[in-house]
Structure 1
Amino acid sequence: MIENLGLFGALFLLIVLALRGGNIVFSALLASLVVIVTNPIALADSLNQYFTFGKLGAFSFAGKFFLLFACGAMFGRVMGESKAAASIAFALAEKLGAQRTLWIVTLACALLTYSGVVVFVVIFAIYPLGLKLIEQANIPKRLLVGAIALGSGTFTLTALPGTPSIQNVIASSALGTDLFAAPLLGIIATIIMFGAGMWYLEKQRKIAQANNEVFIDNQSRNNSPANKAKEINSEDLPHWTLALIPLFFVIVSILAPRILIAIYGTELTLGHDTFNQLIKFATTQLILWPSISLFIGSLVGLIIFKSVRTQALKVLGDGTQDSILPLINTAAVIGFGGVVTQTQGFGDFVQYLLTIDLPPLMSMFVSVSLSSAVVGSSTGGLQIFLQTMAPAYLEMGIPVDILHRIATIASGGVDSLPHCGAVVAMLTITGMTHKQAYKDIFVLTVMIPVAATLVIIGCAAIYF
């Protein structure tokens, strides 16, 4: 009994501390200790292995994603200090109107994530641009965070058919399906998430305008390269076409290998073997290749813009430093999930989910959702579900393609609780707190995706 109380108490403690603005690393460690002392698991193994170097360990995550965070932050520094991000922002606001900022940010994030760019990279790449746009439109910063969350953390990660997201790839490799499994269900969920999400953002923008809620950036200028863009006038900017070149190099270097593979297939005949090997390397390294692409974009920016070229080492060094806090904060929460999954209570919880007296599709939805909620990760929750529970649901007769799509979409709902690693990283990078921005994140990444999942379960039940 005390073991289960410890698990739920630790989860509750972590959520409360996160909502109250507590240091997330300390909060994750404290919550992990609560789990350890209330469960019969060894202290040494828990802290030296499960929290740190296990499959869901903090340093396993930090080691895997370090280059991605570092290169993303370097790119953000270059785009911010060269004033390139501000130049693009001014051009977009002039062409489309600053009032369409939330649409611009959401669609830009969606394009990048659907192209296979990892969420953390998208945040680093879009944030400097979005910050300047919302300043132009005088839109509250919390809605920028909401737009980034909607575009990078919902339909393109779990629902849109063909997305090369980690979640979709995990399900495909585990179940033997392809990335376009159950496309109609995915399209329906996408329409719901995007449509309802944009309706909510626009409604909040109008409410904020009526309540005289304006743009305020309370992030430290010393810690945010994006804030540098605020201290300039439009006449001080490089031309927007020049400013687009580094971002163009990043996107093209990420997309080009996938496009070539799609056109020519896996058996490339594009010339020299070295080139063919490079293409195959790019399409198989889902984390390393985007990191290289971001670094290439940073180098291109340094070459083009004299203002950063003359202090290249400082800009890149400051960018690397910018990445440490988001990386460690995110890793600490992942480490908490690593401890939780080692407890008997979590194992019993998994078994209990399999015996719930619900229709198979609803039972599966509950199983995936709760697994993701406990570990605060759609990736972790989906992996746990596929490894421990998916075979039982397949034996119940659920078609494998429907299981793939519903499980993937369900994993991206209740995972986004306050202790979610991606939420923590997003708030840290943007300089916001849970108190300031989490309400919008919750509506956009929890309530709406859960509603979309329930709708497609109803649709699937008609044929299942």
Structure 2
Amino acid sequence: MSLGLIGIIASLGLLMYLAYRGINVLILAPILALLATLMAGGPLLATYTQVFMPALGKYAITYFPLFLLGAIFGKVMDVSGSAKAIADFIVDKVGAQRAILAITLACGILTYGGVSLFVVAFAVFPIAAALFKESGIPKRLIPATIALGSFTFTMTALPGTPAIQNAIPSPYFSTNAFAAPGLGIIAGLIMFGGGVAWLQYRSNKLVAAGEVYEPPVMKGGGFLGLGGGGKRTDERTAERGDDGAVLVENGAPAVEASEADEQLMDRPSVPLALAFFPIVVVIALNYALVNWIFPSMDFAYLEQDAYGNVGIDDVADIWGIIVALVASIVIAVGTNWTRIGDVKGAVNEGTMGSLLPIVNTASEVGYGAVISSLAAFTTIKDAVLGVSGNPLISLALSVNVLAGITGSASGGMSIALEALGDQFKTMAVEQGISLELVHRVTAISSGGFDALPHNGAVITLLAICGLSHRQSYKDIAVVAIAVPVLALVTIIVLGSLFGSF
């Protein structure tokens, strides 16, 4: 094994370990990218300024509007009370006794409607905490339940989802967000059904073993009644007062249970139709734009060098999501003006809330770009391509590997498509494989190994819930990695046998 390949493996291992220990990927990504470069004998400064930063910048330039608008829309839905109204409606219809199913559906509807997964986690956690406590379901299953509804089927599988993971493949394959709808729905049902079944099984098992919502804290950080007999949950001693104060993990401010409850109760009451309307607009308008409106318009000017010499197919999907989100923000603000109160404050808070997620993700893209520029990466690429002559299998493997390396679904997918997208497209066309199928396989593949412990969304979610990796990551891994990979395999088999539908 060459020193360069050892450097890539060591860099990835340290990235996962140190992120797990709470060091922000914003600083880890460039340092560890340069470590791999150093071990490969490459120039450090040139790699940082000429490879890492341009890749970071290109990603941010392309996808910043989606992060920005998604965060603003999510904040408006939150402070207006619309997110709470939708969650309460789902809970009321499903029943508090089915807390896992209710929270999964609430998160799914919100994220499918364009609300940022970070906003969903903050908005839904207090409701989940109250439901799980009332039902006697162990608290450590809350992160996996929110992850199931936010990070899986609505992120990569369901047709038309405005998630960035569903937009990235479009310019590479001349497709749109509604590619292979039937296969996407099947994959979504597998993720949803498999995830809920696992969490219900875990809940029954833990409750039968005597675990309650929040086990009492033992000295040294161990918890009683964890089924495994008082395992350590964190190196730090966990202190919880009578007010239900929660841990702060990875240096991130945790949401106190009492504070979260107060924030939730402060949300105004919103008529259900008004709460759902902006979400319906996101999906319906996006569909109309990419399928009817844009194709009927003349965009010949896009072929000019000033506009990148592209076609409408290269930008329609991103344009559709941008327009749909802008329209939904205007509708949400207009119909809830008095409920929001401080509209300027809500927009500003949403704007600032978009910065850290996109910079973190773009930094991970920069890391991946450096790794893919190293000579040793050719060994990895050749191994991936040599696994199978079927481009669907090679594509699924490469996107999963790179999403795992970067800890980012969108980041790993972007790197894989930038390095191999043209090659996969050519292979698919030569073998008569539908590019819509390729799009859907690419999107679903990004939502597999991305959820390794160093994933920023996983770290943030655990901090919001006041829990550690040791307490909750096992269940997150099952619903956000194992089950989506099963859905991916199913879609590849079905697509290979029956084509795209």
After TM superposition, give the deviation of residue 149 of structure 1 in Å: 2.1
After TM superposition, give the deviation of residue 15 of structure 1 in Å: 0.8
Q: Sequence identity, in percent?
A: 32
Residue 282 of structure 2 is aligned to residue 254 of structure 1: yes
**8 Å contact kept, 2:107–2:150:** yes
Closer, same or farther: CA 132–365 of 1 in aligned 2, 3 Å:
closer
- Deviating more after overlay: 155-164 vs 411-420: 155-164
- Deviating more after overlay: 439-448 vs 4-13: 439-448
> Paired residue for 1:137, among 91, 107, 132?
132
Closer, same or farther: CA 149–205 of 1 in aligned 2, 3 Å:
same
Take 2:345 and 2:253, find their aligned partners in 1: how far apart are those partners?
13
1:133-212 maps to which residues of 2 (within 5 A)? Answer: 133-138=128-133, 139-177=137-175, 179-210=177-208, 211-212=210-211
After TM superposition, give the deviation of residue 66 of structure 1 in Å: 5.9
Structure 1 unaligned segments of length 5 or more: list them. 270-279
Take 1:161 and 1:313, find their aligned partners in 2: how far apart are those partners?
33
Closer, same or farther: CA 28–114 of 1 in aligned 2, 3 Å:
same
State the secondary structure of the residue aligned to 2:451: coil
Q: Could you tell me which residue of structure 2 aligns to residue 339 of structure 1?
A: 370
**8 Å contact kept, 1:93–1:133:** no
After TM superposition, give the deviation of residue 184 of structure 1 in Å: 4.5
**8 Å contact kept, 1:282–1:289:** no
Q: Deviations over 1:368-405 (max 9, x none)?
A: 32233333333344342452530453266251244343
> Paired residue for 2:106, among 102, 105, 108?
108
Closer, same or farther: CA 366–150 of 1 in aligned 2, 3 Å:
same
Take 1:22 and 1:222, find their aligned partners in 2: how far apart are those partners?
14
**8 Å contact kept, 2:246–2:257:** no
Q: Deviations over 1:288-312 (max 9, x none)?
A: 753674576467656226xxx3x77
After TM superposition, give the deviation of residue 98 of structure 1 in Å: 1.9
- Deviating more after overlay: 149-158 vs 312-321: 312-321
Take 2:333 and 2:467, find their aligned partners in 1: how far apart are those partners?
25
AA at the equivalent of 1:399 = I
Residue 449 of structure 2 is aligned to residue 414 of structure 1: yes
Q: Could you tell me which residue of structure 2 aligns to residue 352 of structure 1?
A: 383
Q: Could you tell me which residue of structure 2 aligns to residue 275 of structure 1?
A: none
**8 Å contact kept, 1:54–1:60:** no
AA at the equivalent of 1:230 = D
TM-score w.r.t. structure 1 length? 0.76
AA at the equivalent of 2:442 = A
Closer, same or farther: CA 379–318 of 1 in aligned 2, 3 Å:
closer
- Deviating more after overlay: 410-419 vs 421-430: 421-430
AA at the equivalent of 2:406 = V
Q: Deviations over 1:255-280 (max 9, x none)?
A: 453365589755899xxxxxxxxxx9
AA at the equivalent of 1:409 = I
Take 1:8 and 1:125, find their aligned partners in 2: how far apart are those partners?
34
> Paired residue for 2:428, among 384, 394, 401?
394
After TM superposition, give the deviation of residue 31 of structure 1 in Å: 1.9
After TM superposition, give the deviation of residue 457 of structure 1 in Å: 3.1
What is the total number of aligned residue pairs between the two structures? 441
1:198-277 maps to which residues of 2 (within 5 A)? Answer: 198-210=196-208, 211-214=210-213, 218=246, 224=255, 228-231=259-262, 240-242=269-271, 247-248=275-276, 250-255=278-283, 257-258=285-286, 261=289, 265-266=293-294
Closer, same or farther: CA 135–53 of 1 in aligned 2, 3 Å:
farther
Take 1:76 and 1:391, find their aligned partners in 2: how far apart are those partners?
39
> Paired residue for 1:367, among 398, 417, 435?
398
Q: Could you tell me which residue of structure 2 aligns to residue 276 of structure 1?
A: none
Structure 2 unaligned segments of length 5 or more: list them. 215-243, 298-314
AA at the equivalent of 2:428 = L
Residue 13 of structure 2 is aligned to residue 12 of structure 1: yes
After TM superposition, give the deviation of residue 3 of structure 1 in Å: 1.1
AA at the equivalent of 2:403 = S
AA at the equivalent of 2:366 = G
Closer, same or farther: CA 396–29 of 1 in aligned 2, 3 Å:
same
Q: Could you tell me which residue of structure 2 aligns to residue 51 of structure 1?
A: 52
AA at the equivalent of 1:212 = E
Q: Could you tell me which residue of structure 2 aligns to residue 274 of structure 1?
A: none
Take 2:64 and 2:160, find their aligned partners in 1: how far apart are those partners?
28
Closer, same or farther: CA 206–257 of 1 in aligned 2, 3 Å:
same
Take 1:136 and 1:3, find their aligned partners in 2: how far apart are those partners?
51
Q: Deviations over 1:128-156 (max 9, x none)?
A: 13422332331445433223322232223
**8 Å contact kept, 1:88–1:129:** no
- Deviating more after overlay: 433-442 vs 322-331: 322-331
Closer, same or farther: CA 347–336 of 1 in aligned 2, 3 Å:
same
Take 2:288 and 2:76, find their aligned partners in 1: how far apart are those partners?
25
Q: Deviations over 1:232-290 (max 9, x none)?
A: 89xx7677445x58744642553453365589755899xxxxxxxxxx99982535753
Take 2:407 and 2:253, find their aligned partners in 1: how far apart are those partners?
30
**8 Å contact kept, 2:176–2:317:** no
Q: Deviations over 1:66-107 (max 9, x none)?
A: 63475257437735xxx7766766665455432333223322
- Deviating more after overlay: 353-362 vs 99-108: 353-362
Q: Could you tell me which residue of structure 2 aligns to residue 378 of structure 1?
A: 409
After TM superposition, give the deviation of residue 336 of structure 1 in Å: 2.2
Closer, same or farther: CA 359–206 of 1 in aligned 2, 3 Å:
same
**8 Å contact kept, 2:90–2:105:** no
Closer, same or farther: CA 248–227 of 1 in aligned 2, 3 Å:
farther
Q: Deviations over 1:328-358 (max 9, x none)?
A: 5444434322332332222442233223366
Take 2:99 and 2:6, find their aligned partners in 1: how far apart are those partners?
45
